[in-house]
Structures are given as C-alpha cells and as structure tokens.
Structure 1
Amino acid sequence: MNDAVPATAVAPLAGFTVGITAARRADELATMLRRRGAEVVQGAALRIVPVADDTELAEATRALIAAPPDITVATTGIGFRSWVSAADGWGIGEELLTALGRSRLIARGPKARGAIRASGLVDAWSPPSESSAEVLEHLLERGVDGLRIAVQLHGEPLPDVVEALCVAGAEVVEVPVYRWVPPVDIAPLDRLIDAVLGGGVDVLTFTSAPAAASLLARAGERGLRDDLLAALRGPVLAVCVGPVTAAPLEAVDVPTLQPQRSRLGAMVRALEAEVPTRTRSLPVAGHRLQLRGHAVLVDGVLRMVPPAGMALLRALARRPGRVVPRAELLAALPGGGDDEHAVETAMTRLRAALGEPRLVQTVVKRGYRLALDPAADPVPVGGHCLHGDAL
C-alpha cells in the first residue's frame, strides 16, 4: 500500500472524517467539507414538515390577520419567507403582510432582516449578537405589558422567551413556521451514531438545536446515550453553527466549537482551522508523525492507513517509545479476537502504509514500540485529542 499525498497537496481536513446531522443544506455542507479534504458521513437527525401542510401555522396566521400584532419577531430568514409563501398558497398572503406591516418588526439577524425587506416590509431593530436572548432583553427594556407579540419560531419552541414575555404582561402568539420531526428513514442516523461510537468519526457537525436534541434522543432510544455523550466529551469534537444550536449539547456538558458568526461557511472555516491543531505530532526515527483520524502525515506527506493499522498506531502513540505488548495491541484492534497473528498482519500493513518501516520497532517476545527519537520531548496538545492520541 502506498497511498501517499504530497505535502503541498494536503488539505486541512484530509485524513479526518466529519459527520453531518443536518437535513437542510446538508449537501452544501458536505461539498464544503470535501473540498477541504474531509471524508463525510451523513445521517440526518430530523426532517422538516412542509409549511403548506401545517394546520397549526395556518391557524396562527389567520389569528394574526384577525387581530394584528403590536410587535412581530422574525427569527430566521427562511422561516419568514416560508411563512409568507405558505400564506400566499392559502390565498391570504397580502392580508398577512398588511397585518404584519402594522406591527413593529424585529429581525433576530441579517437573514431575517433581508427576508422582511424582500417582502416589502421594514424592520425596526435587530440585535448585533443575532441572539434570541438579546431580542428578549430589548423587548423587556422597552416594556411589553398589554402588547400582542407574534414570535416566528425557528424549528423548535422558545419556552424561555415566550414565558418571560407572558410574565411581563404580553400576549404571545407563537408562529411555528416549520417543524422538525424524526426522519422517515432512521437507518442513516443510526449508522452515523454507530460510526461515532466505533471511532470512525472525528468531528460531528450540528446546524440546528433540534438536530442535536434528536440525535441524543435517538441514542437514548437505542440505549446508547451515555456512550454517545462519552464520545462527544472525549475524542469526537462537536462543532455547532452557533450558541442556539449548541444549547442542547452544552446542557449535558458536551463542549462545542462555534464560529464567531453563526454562518455555515464560518463554521467550516472554524473547523478547518481548529481540527489540525488538535492532532498529535511525534518525532519518530528521524521523521515527524502527525496522527489524523484515518491517516498519518509523515514529514508532511499524507499517508492513508487502514482502520486496523490506525488502531495499532493510536495504541502505540499513547506510550511513545515504550513497548506495548501484543495482547494489548490485539485488544485495540477492531473486532477484537484472540489470535495474536492478527497483530502481526495489521502491523505489516501499517508499516507498508507509513512507507517507513523503521517507525515501528519489533521488540522480540515483548511487543512493538514507536521508535521515538532520543531526547525527544513531545508535548501533548491541549483540549480535545482526536481519537485518544494523547498520552
């Protein structure tokens, strides 16, 4: 095996596998990740109910036309556009715009603002942080007692916002523009969960809070919630498009990486900047090894390594320079087994994949070791260490 990629051609995410839980814009995200070298595993954690078929939305829309709101909060651009489009389909689009035009329109972010203006309306205010919390703070500071407020939801309820407004004296009309429900075919999501638990995924991406909640719920249904949480708190990095999306994960103590701006492109750029820094780099036999998810950089050249070989290499890298017994290496191999010959076979393939047989030394009757350079002082990388490559 000689699957080597020259250093000049190594993409930032080459050698890493990224899982996608998104339903909307999943293919766009996958394309962005693949362009940066990543392997991609998709398993949508939910699907969107078409708004035109949503009777709850139709009822809320007609209620607002009959009694227009004093304030309308638009939380997402796609949600606001879908709402207007659905109303057009029901033959009440103009009536809806007239009712909303009488209210003070608040956009949670620039996309919501753009959707409002595209409909011919004018927004009055938008928070710099693009957060629902700042919208709530703004409304409470101005006072909402006795006001009728329409809140366009973004795929899930906003109980804290709604409750706070109601306590402050407002009448709140929740507008469920689109709803998330479990996917019709749950198999891809199950395969993604299994890949995470099996060490086949280095990074898991989330673009909506409902997707995060749905993933945890599905893992719970399968009796795998604790295992999944352990993976997300350890070797697997959770990357979220923003704080709203991250909330269900952070509520169960899962650390997340988030971009400064809640945008898909910004999330991918944050991911490609962060993930390579979390790898382990070791000086071995006069070479520099950097362990990635399913590949290794040898002196800056990417070399693809089969799963069994990566399992052995990770076990050796946990104790660089020290002998690791064959029995311990056998236990590290995918699928286990009790034949130590499997270790020798996997080791032969690993050495061939690395292209430098001297990187791993055989210690007769004892096991194997990484040939750590004398007087080397490798420093573990802080934070997440992908796939347990830390000491």
Structure 2
Amino acid sequence: MLKVCTFESRRSEEMLSLIQRQGATAVSAPSLKEIRLDENSDVLKFGEELLSGQIDIVLFLTGVGAQAMLDVLVTRWSMEAIAGALSRTMVLVRGPKPVGVLRSCQIKVDYRAPEPNTWREVVSMIDSTPIPIAGQVVALQEYGQPQKELAQALRDRLAEVRSVPVYKWALPDDLAPLEAAIRSTIAGDLDVLLFTSAQQAVNTLDVADRLGLRGAWVEAARKCVIGSIGPTATEMLESLGLRPDLEPSHGKMGHLVIETLALARSARG
C-alpha cells in the first residue's frame, strides 16, 4: 500500500480523507500556520492613501488576503466608503478567490488574470489589455512571502509599487509531525509527497535544515513521487532542488491526490 505524506495544515483532515479514499496510507505533517500581522499599519496606510485618491490601481492576489485587508479597513472606515474609493481605482485580481470576496462587498473587478494564476499571468494580463501601468501608483496586496518578481515586473513597466502585506506564514506550534515526516522520508518509508502551496515546501526545508537534515531530506525526497498543486508551488520546489513529478489537470486537492497516486502506482508497475 502506498504511504502518502501531505503537508497541508488548514485542510489537513480533508487531505487525509482524500488519500485514504484512494486506498493509501495517509501521513499528516502540517507545515505552516497562517498569522495575521499584529501590526496592521501597512493596511491602514493603504486605506488612507486609497480614500484620499493617491492609489490608481489595486492588485489583489488571494481571497484570504483580500478579506483580511477589508477586515482591517472596516475598523476605521465604512465598507461603503471603501467600496466607493475602490470604484475610483482599477481593480485587478489573480484567480477566482479574490473575485468572490470583493463582489460579496459590492466591489467591482476590472480584470482577472487567467489560470494557472501565477505572477506571470498577472503580467501577461497587464501586457495584453489596456491597463495603464506606466506612471501609476499600484497597491500590491502581498501574502506569505514578498512578491518580489511581480513587484519588479510592475516597476519595469514604470509603475510605482506600494506593497501591502496582510498576513504571513509561520511554522506550526507543534513541529513533531513534520519532523517525523522528514525523518520518515529519509528512512525511505514514504512513497508520495504532496504539496498544496509553495510555502509548505519552504517551511519543510527550513525544519529539515534546523535538524541538520536538509541535504539528506532533499536526496530522499527525489526518490519519492512528488505532487505539486500548481505552477507557483512547482516553481518553489524546483528552486529548492526538487522537481515535481506531476501537476494535476486542475489545481484542486482532489485532482492532486487522485492523479499523483495513479502516477505512483503506474511507476510501481
């Protein structure tokens, strides 16, 4: 029976169930926790600039980030005032999740980047549509790690970029399951590794490094079948020395589990 490790945290129970329904043994190794920034001065400063007409374009990257930003803003201004100010800017989004959040607050969306929803699609959308970037002030809602490539691409197009970090990632409080999974990988006890975000890979390597096992873990992980939820996670894994064996046909957890396990079984013969 295949032994499959998932690094998912927030939806770990769902991932375990998906793996088990495919007849495999599931190992849960939560690799991150999401933390709202305690000091929301960046968001409040953005709000002041937005309502005073100093922002030309707002780019939302995630649904959770968009909601978190709005939650902070309504502590000082009414949603009506926020929506009105955003209506006077151009609103860009990456992927479907920010769209739902914004529309539920009656905030219009001008352009949405297509799948697979990486920063490259955002840049391609800007280049292929009449979005006036040059000389404009662009507020960039960041999540997790700073969006250096996207910010630089906007600057290359002569935009003035103002990053607005909303939440960040930290290691989970209980590292024992992740440490155990790292050691199990090195021992050859795991067949499949599933990553549903880029930050999971970063944090897993961070913990392996703290244990003095980074090199050993990377070498052992290369012998496993690695499934990546999509291009952003794949790009991060590759930058860390791991090449995923599969991205699912759709960037959903169910597709990731089914298709990666099918590949692992076919590889076994």
Fold shared, TM-score > 0.5 on shorter chain:
yes
C-alpha contact (below 8 Å) 2:9/2:32 kept by paired residues: yes
C-alpha contact (below 8 Å) 1:20/1:204 kept by paired residues: yes
Distance (Å, rounded) in 1 between the aligned partners of 2:36 and 2:239: 29
Structure 1 residues 66 and 22: alpha-carbon distance in aligned structure 2, compared to 1, 3 A threshold: farther
Distance (Å, rounded) in 2 between the aligned partners of 1:110 and 1:186: 32
Task: Tell me the residue number matched to 1:210.
Answer: 199
Residue 278 of structure 1 pairs with residue 264 of structure 2: no
Distance (Å, rounded) in 1 between the aligned partners of 2:236 and 2:61: 18
Partner SS, residue 160 of structure 1:
helix
Task: Give structure 2 stretches of 5+ with no counterpart.
Answer: none
C-alpha contact (below 8 Å) 2:49/2:55 kept by paired residues: no
Distance (Å, rounded) in 2 between the aligned partners of 1:264 and 1:194: 25
Residue 247 of structure 1 pairs with residue 235 of structure 2: yes
Structure 1 residue 121: deviation in Å?
1.5
* One-letter amino acid of the structure 1 residue matched with residue 153 of structure 2: A
Partner SS, residue 41 of structure 1:
strand
C-alpha contact (below 8 Å) 1:48/1:179 kept by paired residues: yes
Distance (Å, rounded) in 2 between the aligned partners of 1:230 and 1:174: 36
* One-letter amino acid of the structure 2 residue matched with residue 80 of structure 1: A
Taking the TM superposition and a 5 Å limit, the aligned residue runs for 1:240-319 are 240-256=228-244, 257-280=246-269
State which structure, 1 or 2, has the greater radius of gyration over its C-alpha atoms.
1
Structure 1 residues 214 and 92: alpha-carbon distance in aligned structure 2, compared to 1, 3 A threshold: farther
Residue 137 of structure 1 pairs with residue 116 of structure 2: no
Structure 1 residue 133: deviation in Å?
0.5
Task: Tell me the residue number matched to 1:177.
Answer: 166
Aligned-residue RMSD, C-alpha: 2.2
TM-score by length of 1: 0.62
Per-residue CA deviations over 1:215-239 (Å, capped at 9, x if unaligned) read 11221222211111112222x1221
Structure 1 residue 175: deviation in Å?
2.1
Q: Name which of 56, 79, 92 aligns with 1:106.
A: 92
C-alpha contact (below 8 Å) 1:208/1:244 kept by paired residues: yes
Task: Tell me the residue number matched to 1:45.
Answer: 31
Structure 1 residues 261 and 153: alpha-carbon distance in aligned structure 2, compared to 1, 3 A threshold: farther
Name the structure, 1 or 2, with higher relative contact order (CA <8 Å, separation 6+): 2
C-alpha contact (below 8 Å) 2:30/2:172 kept by paired residues: yes
Task: Give structure 1 stretches of 5+ with no counterpart.
Answer: 1-14, 281-391
Structure 1 residues 197 and 168: alpha-carbon distance in aligned structure 2, compared to 1, 3 A threshold: same
TM-score by length of 2: 0.88
Distance (Å, rounded) in 2 between the aligned partners of 1:266 and 1:103: 37
Structure 1 residue 61: deviation in Å?
3.7
Partner SS, residue 194 of structure 2:
strand
C-alpha contact (below 8 Å) 1:148/1:173 kept by paired residues: yes
Task: Tell me the residue number matched to 2:114.
Answer: 128
Structure 1 residue 91: deviation in Å?
4.9
Distance (Å, rounded) in 2 between the aligned partners of 1:96 and 1:28: 35
Task: Tell me the residue number matched to 1:77.
Answer: 63
Per-residue CA deviations over 1:127-170 (Å, capped at 9, x if unaligned) read 33223202112324544111111222232211011012123211
Distance (Å, rounded) in 2 between the aligned partners of 1:59 and 1:76: 20
Distance (Å, rounded) in 1 between the aligned partners of 2:48 and 2:255: 38
Structure 1 residue 71: deviation in Å?
1.7
